[in-house]
Each structure stands twice: as C-alpha cells, then as structure tokens.
Structure 1
C-alpha cells in the first residue's frame, strides 16, 4: 500500500493491486473515500470523489482536506500512479506541513 501524502491526520494512498480509472484513497479515523481522475488527451478533465464499498466515507473537515490535497496535487498524483503502476518505481511518501488553502 504505497502512501503518497499525510496531511492533518489524513493518509492518501494507493492499494498495491489498483485498477483504472486512476484514483487514490483517503483515510482518516476509520473512514475512507476515493478520488477518481478522468483524463482526456493526457489532461485531467474531472476529479470525482466517491465512497469506498464497505467503508464509512470521509465527512466534514476530513472530506474537505481530502478534496484540497487532491485538487492541489492532482498532477503529481497522476504522475505517481504512472510511476508506480506502469514503471514499477517506488513512491516516497510526503508529509504536507503547510496549510492548504
């Protein structure tokens, strides 16, 4: 389970056996949601936040923080997906220490 980011107690990660569309999971306090990235001609055209089957979804401030991380780091997340799942490169996790606006 490659961890990408940690932000205010929220963990953003891939499961090791993921599938398309490109997506990441956000987990905090036993709750989990995912963000799916839809691309056209290599550009992100939509990011859709969805629930994870069998998990309670992120709510309130945790959900807002997940959306912020996904919006700010969208391009980096897609690149990390390609690096990990296409090129089989390891991913170095990052702790985000500055407040995202």
Structure 2
C-alpha cells in the first residue's frame, strides 16, 4: 500500500474511533495520518479539522483551537473549498463558546454567514 492510501486508511480509522467516542485513539490515528500526508504533500486540512474536533470533547481547547485554526489558514489559501472553510469557522466558534468568549464566538459565526 502506498503512503497516500495508508494516510487515508489511518484518517478513516481515526474517524471510526471518534464516532465511537474514543477520542484519544482517534487523535493518535489522525496524527499518524497527518504525518504521512505532510511527507507526501497531500492536503492536510481535513486531518487538522478532525484533530481539532477530537480534542474538544477532551476539553483540550487549546489543541482544538490550534488545529482548527491551522486548517482554516490552509483552507483559506484554497478558496475552492468553501464548505470546509464554513465548517472550520463553525467548529472554532463552538470551541470559543465553550471557553466562554461569546463575542469571539459570534465573530466566527458571522464569518460563516459571509461564505
């Protein structure tokens, strides 16, 4: 199996564990997938987004925000992926709200409406 397909399989395993509520294992698979994707110059946004989402239920909001913002920054350089950009703004808004910063949460939701 080539590294690109291996990265996809690792990412998909992460998604399975995330769906089952095993976020720690999901994060492990997403990180492995991210590393392979970086080495093979594959798009990283989806893995970074899912990492951010997986850290949120563990209340590791700093990591959640970091990965979501990295994904957003990368996605904004590829404006043809509007759905992902809207999803990233939405996820960052959720994390920001959980941190108690409601003004910033509102700002991110307003960005979703601009897309």
Give 1 or 2: higher strand fraction: 1
Q: Is TM > 0.5 for Structure 1 vs Structure 2?
A: no
TM-score (norm 1): 0.30
Structure with greater Cα Rg:
2
TM-score (norm 2): 0.28
Determine which structure has greater relative contact order: mean sequence separation of CA pairs < 8 Å that are 6+ residues apart, divided by chain length.
Answer: 1
